[in-house]
Amino acid sequence: MIGHTARGCAMVVALALAAQAPGLVSRAHAQETRPEPDPVLRLEAWLKHDADRNETARLAGSVLGLIMGATAIGAGIYVFIAEDSVEWQILGPLLVAEGAMLGGLSVVLFTMTTPPEDRWTRWRKVRAQGVSPEDVAGFTGELRADVELARFQRLTSAVIGFSMAGGGIAAGVLSLASDDEDARIIGLSLGIGLTVIGLATGFLSLAIRSPIEDDWSEMRRGNVPIEEAATGIELHVAPAIAKDGGGLGLTGTF
């Protein structure tokens, strides 16, 4: 039972940290820029850059979600059939349900455009008819609103992360008071996992700004992005088999 619990906790921590990785990589990517004196061309460049980035993230997220959903469904069916313990009998259907949810969300992500993509479409229509100062002010205001929302979400994520870490520490401390050894191990495992994930989320949210915040700073300096040559999205999936289980390894180039 203890071995099953430890592996289950390790799986939860690994999946949670892996889910944070794409966003952190995107945030850490430095964008090269060049000066652009024309405010219309400057705004247009950042609108297109924001739309392209969101489209790439949307498509990559849908593919990753389908892979994770299929993996969760397969793992859920496997543990439900192969494991006899009550814990895994409960976990199996939960994994299947989570996989179905991820699959449905991925289909929606693949077919639905994001607000920045819709904004770029609206801008192109306005550009074809002639851009007025009111149009420039309106689209600039939309970008500024996105920046403030991203900053708010980042700070909120930091608060949630530190709160999670506090809850993890409390869970670990309280578990020490239990007379049952299995309960202590489970409580400590969950407490350590929550603490690690919470601290990582909190500190990274404070330390690394979101891409739209960096874009806004560059735009205010009078710069535009230097677009890199499109390389497409490459995903590689490889099976990983161990003595007591298995999984999938995923690497990608965006």
Residue 11 confidence (pLDDT): 47
Residue pointed to by tokens 């008819």:
129
1, 87 contact by CB (below 8 A) = yes
Give the whole-angstrom CA distance, residue 112 versus residue 99. Answer: 20
Is residue 140 helix, strand or coil?
helix
Give residues with Cβ within 8 angstroms of 216, minimum separation 6.
Answer: 143, 144, 147
Calculate the average pLDDT of the chain: 82
- Residues 81-96 have a mean pLDDT of 82
Give the whole-angstrom CA distance, residue 186 versus residue 178. Answer: 11
Confidence class for position 90, pLDDT limits 50, 70, 90: confident
CA angle 169, 172, 176 (to 5 degrees): 140
Give the whole-angstrom CA distance, residue 154 versus residue 148. Answer: 10
219, 201 contact by CB (below 8 A) = no
Residue 137 confidence (pLDDT): 96
Sequence length of the chain is: 254
Helical packing angle, 39-82 and 211-220, nearest 10°: 170
pTM confidence score: 0.69
Q: Where are the domains of the chain?
A: 2-120+134-226
Range in 41-45, 133-137, 225-229 the model is least confident about? 225-229
Give residues with Cβ within 8 angstroms of 30, minimum separation 6.
Answer: none
Per-residue pLDDT tens digits for 157-201: 999 999 999 999 999 999 888 888 888 888 898 899 999 999 999
200, 20 contact by CB (below 8 A) = yes
Tokens at residue 171, please? 């869970």
